[in-house]
Amino acid sequence: MNETLIFMGPPGAGKGTQATKICENRQLKQLSTGDMLRDHVRRGTDLGVQAKQIMDAGKLVSDDVIIGMVRAELQQMADIRVLFDGFPRTTAQAQALDQLLQELHAPLYAVVLLEVDEEAVVQRLLKRAEIEGRSDDNEATIRKRLSVYNEQTSPLIGYYAGTGKIKKIDGMGTVQEVEQRIKEALA
């Protein structure tokens, strides 16, 4: 049976961490547009070369590129059982996703919104910088990513509000505590 989930929240909210757990639990495929772009950067594709500059500046890659990437992934799936991690991020992306899901007869099950304290996520990402060295995890870029989230992505909370599918989750606390809250909200 088709099922789709969206994980939303500011940078460092724990989307990726929690998405992995929920995908295992519900047998979904994790589709992170950030991971897909970083894969292009690693492989040095044309898209990767262009995307790296934008990501390092903390800005958003163009809607057309992102929507095209997601469409290509979905169209090759037999069953649409997907958790979108960090997508959609703009109203145009959300509208395109609505259209795609309708074409593919894949209903949206829920939008999980991870709510966190901004200063706490800055600290999380600075800590990750020491461990993983992601090139956009420096303080200036982190703050830019937060302001881009507030300006361009947070309006999607209003976009989805009418669907009754938004689950607002307190993203502070341990990874296990947050995981438990998400599982309860999705039960």
Residues annotated as catalytic are 15, 89, 128, 134, 145
35 vs 103, beta carbon nearer Mg ion: 35
**In terms of CB distance, is 2 or 21 closer to Mg ion?**
21
Tokens of 175: 């990874």
- In degrees and rounded to multiples of 5, residue 5 shows phi and psi of -130, 150
CA 68 to chain centre: 16
Q: Which lies closer to ligand AP5 via its Cβ, residue 130 or residue 164?
A: 130
Residue 14 CB, nearest approach to ligand AP5 (Å)? 3
Q: Quick one: 39 or 79, whose CB is closer to ligand AP5?
A: 39
Identify the residue whose tokens are 């990513």.
145
Residue window 11-50: x/- pattern of binding to Mg ion, with contact defined by CB under 5 A:
----xx----------------------------------
What is the closest distance, in whole angstroms, from the C-beta atom of residue 1 to ligand AP5 in the complex? 26
Chain position carrying tokens 């929507």: 67
Residue nearest to ligand AP5 (CB): 34
Judged by CB under 5 A, the stretch of 9-17, 42-50, 55-63, 126-134 that binds Mg ion is 9-17
Which residues of this chain interact with ligand AP5, rule CB under 6 A? 9, 11-17, 33-34, 37, 54-55, 58-61, 66, 86-87, 89, 93, 124-125, 128, 145, 174-175, 178
CA-CA distance, 12 to 145, in Å (whole number)?
Answer: 10
Using CB under 5 A, list all residues that contact Mg ion.
15-16
